[in-house]
Structure 1
Amino acid sequence: MQFCDECGSMMHAEDGEMVCSSCGAREPKDTARAEEFVSTEAQSEDDVIESSEDADFEGKPTADDVTCDECGHGEAWYTIKQTGAADEPPTRFFKCKKCGNRWRGYS
Protein backbone atom coordinates (compact mmCIF):
# COMPACT_ATOMS: atom_id res chain seq x y z
CA MET A 1 0.00 0.00 0.00
CA GLN A 2 1.29 3.45 -0.83
CA PHE A 3 0.08 6.74 0.60
CA CYS A 4 0.08 10.19 -0.97
CA ASP A 5 2.80 12.59 0.17
CA GLU A 6 0.44 15.53 -0.45
CA CYS A 7 -2.67 14.54 1.51
CA GLY A 8 -1.95 11.13 3.08
CA SER A 9 -4.71 9.25 1.22
CA MET A 10 -4.22 5.78 -0.24
CA MET A 11 -2.90 5.63 -3.79
CA HIS A 12 -3.75 3.15 -6.54
CA ALA A 13 -1.87 1.98 -9.63
CA GLU A 14 -2.90 3.48 -12.96
CA ASP A 15 -0.95 3.29 -16.24
CA GLY A 16 2.41 2.66 -14.56
CA GLU A 17 1.97 5.45 -12.02
CA MET A 18 0.61 5.69 -8.51
CA VAL A 19 -2.43 8.01 -8.35
CA CYS A 20 -3.94 9.50 -5.20
CA SER A 21 -7.60 8.55 -4.73
CA SER A 22 -8.40 11.92 -3.11
CA CYS A 23 -6.31 14.75 -4.55
CA GLY A 24 -5.22 13.13 -7.85
CA ALA A 25 -1.47 13.59 -7.23
CA ARG A 26 0.66 11.31 -9.40
CA GLU A 27 4.10 9.83 -8.90
CA PRO A 28 6.10 7.13 -10.68
CA LYS A 29 5.60 3.59 -9.50
CA ASP A 30 8.53 2.48 -7.36
CA THR A 31 9.56 -0.64 -9.30
CA ALA A 32 12.28 -1.54 -6.79
CA ARG A 33 9.58 -2.06 -4.13
CA ALA A 34 6.90 -3.48 -6.45
CA GLU A 35 7.45 -7.05 -5.20
CA GLU A 36 6.51 -5.93 -1.67
CA PHE A 37 3.01 -4.87 -2.70
CA VAL A 38 0.08 -7.26 -3.05
CA SER A 39 -2.92 -6.25 -5.09
CA THR A 40 -6.19 -6.98 -3.33
CA GLU A 41 -7.54 -8.28 -6.61
CA ALA A 42 -4.99 -11.12 -6.46
CA GLN A 43 -5.80 -12.12 -2.88
CA SER A 44 -8.30 -14.77 -1.96
CA GLU A 45 -9.66 -16.11 1.32
CA ASP A 46 -7.26 -19.08 0.99
CA ASP A 47 -4.28 -16.73 1.44
CA VAL A 48 -5.46 -15.55 4.84
CA ILE A 49 -6.07 -18.70 6.90
CA GLU A 50 -3.40 -19.11 9.60
CA SER A 51 0.18 -18.00 9.24
CA SER A 52 1.72 -21.04 7.54
CA GLU A 53 0.91 -24.59 6.50
CA ASP A 54 3.38 -25.98 9.02
CA ALA A 55 1.94 -23.98 11.96
CA ASP A 56 2.06 -26.13 15.08
CA PHE A 57 -1.54 -26.66 16.24
CA GLU A 58 -0.76 -29.76 18.26
CA GLY A 59 -0.99 -28.96 21.96
CA LYS A 60 -3.41 -26.09 21.35
CA PRO A 61 -6.92 -26.14 22.85
CA THR A 62 -9.31 -28.68 21.34
CA ALA A 63 -12.86 -28.02 20.18
CA ASP A 64 -15.38 -30.85 20.06
CA ASP A 65 -18.32 -28.70 18.94
CA VAL A 66 -17.14 -28.46 15.29
CA THR A 67 -17.36 -30.73 12.25
CA CYS A 68 -14.69 -30.92 9.57
CA ASP A 69 -16.14 -30.30 6.09
CA GLU A 70 -13.53 -32.60 4.52
CA CYS A 71 -13.80 -35.79 6.61
CA GLY A 72 -16.70 -35.20 9.04
CA HIS A 73 -14.52 -35.61 12.15
CA GLY A 74 -15.86 -33.77 15.19
CA GLU A 75 -12.68 -32.66 16.91
CA ALA A 76 -10.14 -29.98 15.97
CA TRP A 77 -7.35 -27.92 17.48
CA TYR A 78 -7.90 -24.18 17.40
CA THR A 79 -6.26 -20.82 17.94
CA ILE A 80 -8.02 -17.50 18.49
CA LYS A 81 -6.98 -14.24 16.83
CA GLN A 82 -8.47 -10.77 16.77
CA THR A 83 -8.80 -10.19 13.02
CA GLY A 84 -11.24 -7.26 13.10
CA ALA A 85 -11.77 -4.21 15.23
CA ALA A 86 -11.49 -4.51 19.00
CA ASP A 87 -15.27 -4.34 19.42
CA GLU A 88 -15.81 -7.34 17.09
CA PRO A 89 -15.61 -10.97 18.25
CA PRO A 90 -12.33 -12.84 17.59
CA THR A 91 -11.89 -15.44 14.85
CA ARG A 92 -11.12 -19.10 15.67
CA PHE A 93 -8.78 -20.93 13.29
CA PHE A 94 -9.29 -24.71 13.29
CA LYS A 95 -7.21 -27.71 12.19
CA CYS A 96 -8.92 -31.10 12.04
CA LYS A 97 -7.25 -33.64 14.34
CA LYS A 98 -7.95 -36.45 11.82
CA CYS A 99 -7.20 -35.13 8.32
CA GLY A 100 -5.47 -31.78 8.96
CA ASN A 101 -8.03 -29.70 7.06
CA ARG A 102 -7.94 -26.04 8.10
CA TRP A 103 -10.81 -23.55 8.33
CA ARG A 104 -11.95 -20.55 10.29
CA GLY A 105 -15.00 -19.93 12.43
CA TYR A 106 -16.63 -16.66 13.38
CA SER A 107 -18.39 -16.12 16.69
Structure 2
Amino acid sequence: MMKTEGEMWVCGSCGAEKPREADGESGMVTTEGQQEGEIVDLSESEEDARPTTEAHCPECGNDRAFWEMKQIRSADESETRFFTCTECGHKWREDDH
Protein backbone atom coordinates (compact mmCIF):
# COMPACT_ATOMS: atom_id res chain seq x y z
CA MET A 1 0.00 0.00 0.00
CA MET A 2 1.35 3.39 -0.98
CA LYS A 3 1.46 6.19 1.60
CA THR A 4 2.20 9.85 1.15
CA GLU A 5 5.38 11.42 2.43
CA GLY A 6 5.45 15.05 1.38
CA GLU A 7 5.34 15.20 -2.42
CA MET A 8 6.03 11.46 -2.87
CA TRP A 9 4.06 8.22 -2.71
CA VAL A 10 6.09 5.61 -0.80
CA CYS A 11 5.46 1.85 -0.69
CA GLY A 12 5.28 0.59 2.91
CA SER A 13 6.73 -2.80 1.90
CA CYS A 14 9.60 -2.14 -0.47
CA GLY A 15 10.15 1.62 -0.13
CA ALA A 16 9.56 2.36 -3.83
CA GLU A 17 8.79 6.03 -4.45
CA LYS A 18 6.62 7.80 -7.03
CA PRO A 19 5.93 11.53 -7.36
CA ARG A 20 2.42 12.69 -6.38
CA GLU A 21 0.09 14.09 -9.06
CA ALA A 22 -2.86 16.25 -7.95
CA ASP A 23 -4.96 15.40 -11.05
CA GLY A 24 -4.56 11.66 -10.55
CA GLU A 25 -5.29 11.82 -6.83
CA SER A 26 -8.63 13.60 -7.13
CA GLY A 27 -10.51 10.32 -7.69
CA MET A 28 -8.61 8.23 -5.14
CA VAL A 29 -10.15 6.88 -1.97
CA THR A 30 -8.03 7.37 1.11
CA THR A 31 -8.31 6.47 4.77
CA GLU A 32 -7.23 9.97 5.79
CA GLY A 33 -9.91 11.68 7.87
CA GLN A 34 -12.14 8.60 8.06
CA GLN A 35 -13.58 7.60 11.41
CA GLU A 36 -13.11 4.11 12.71
CA GLY A 37 -16.33 2.12 12.49
CA GLU A 38 -17.88 0.05 15.21
CA ILE A 39 -16.96 -3.64 15.11
CA VAL A 40 -20.12 -5.73 15.09
CA ASP A 41 -20.03 -9.40 16.10
CA LEU A 42 -22.32 -11.31 13.73
CA SER A 43 -21.30 -14.78 14.89
CA GLU A 44 -24.65 -15.51 16.56
CA SER A 45 -26.81 -14.15 13.72
CA GLU A 46 -24.58 -15.66 11.02
CA GLU A 47 -26.00 -19.15 11.50
CA ASP A 48 -29.57 -17.87 11.13
CA ALA A 49 -28.66 -16.22 7.81
CA ARG A 50 -27.74 -19.51 6.12
CA PRO A 51 -30.30 -20.95 3.70
CA THR A 52 -32.46 -23.82 4.93
CA THR A 53 -34.33 -26.53 3.11
CA GLU A 54 -36.58 -29.48 3.83
CA ALA A 55 -34.27 -32.41 4.59
CA HIS A 56 -34.69 -35.37 6.94
CA CYS A 57 -31.97 -35.56 9.61
CA PRO A 58 -30.82 -39.19 10.01
CA GLU A 59 -29.91 -38.56 13.68
CA CYS A 60 -32.93 -36.81 15.24
CA GLY A 61 -35.61 -36.94 12.51
CA ASN A 62 -35.92 -33.14 12.21
CA ASP A 63 -37.16 -32.01 8.79
CA ARG A 64 -35.15 -28.73 8.36
CA ALA A 65 -31.46 -28.30 7.64
CA PHE A 66 -29.03 -25.58 6.67
CA TRP A 67 -27.31 -26.34 3.37
CA GLU A 68 -24.21 -25.27 1.45
CA MET A 69 -22.55 -26.30 -1.80
CA LYS A 70 -18.82 -27.11 -2.02
CA GLN A 71 -16.60 -28.15 -4.91
CA ILE A 72 -14.72 -31.12 -3.42
CA ARG A 73 -13.85 -33.00 -6.61
CA SER A 74 -12.34 -31.81 -9.88
CA ALA A 75 -13.90 -28.79 -11.59
CA ASP A 76 -15.60 -30.89 -14.28
CA GLU A 77 -17.69 -32.71 -11.66
CA SER A 78 -20.72 -31.29 -9.87
CA GLU A 79 -20.61 -29.66 -6.44
CA THR A 80 -21.59 -31.62 -3.34
CA ARG A 81 -24.41 -30.34 -1.13
CA PHE A 82 -23.79 -30.49 2.61
CA PHE A 83 -26.52 -30.33 5.26
CA THR A 84 -26.47 -29.34 8.95
CA CYS A 85 -29.55 -30.13 11.03
CA THR A 86 -31.20 -27.02 12.47
CA GLU A 87 -32.04 -28.92 15.68
CA CYS A 88 -29.14 -31.20 16.63
CA GLY A 89 -26.33 -29.87 14.40
CA HIS A 90 -25.67 -33.27 12.76
CA LYS A 91 -23.86 -32.91 9.40
CA TRP A 92 -24.22 -35.09 6.31
CA ARG A 93 -23.71 -35.00 2.55
CA GLU A 94 -26.38 -35.30 -0.12
CA ASP A 95 -24.78 -38.41 -1.63
CA ASP A 96 -24.45 -40.29 1.70
CA HIS A 97 -26.66 -43.37 1.92
User: TM-score of the superposition, structure 2-length normalised?
Assistant: 0.46
- Which has more radius of gyration? 2
Bigger share in helix: 2
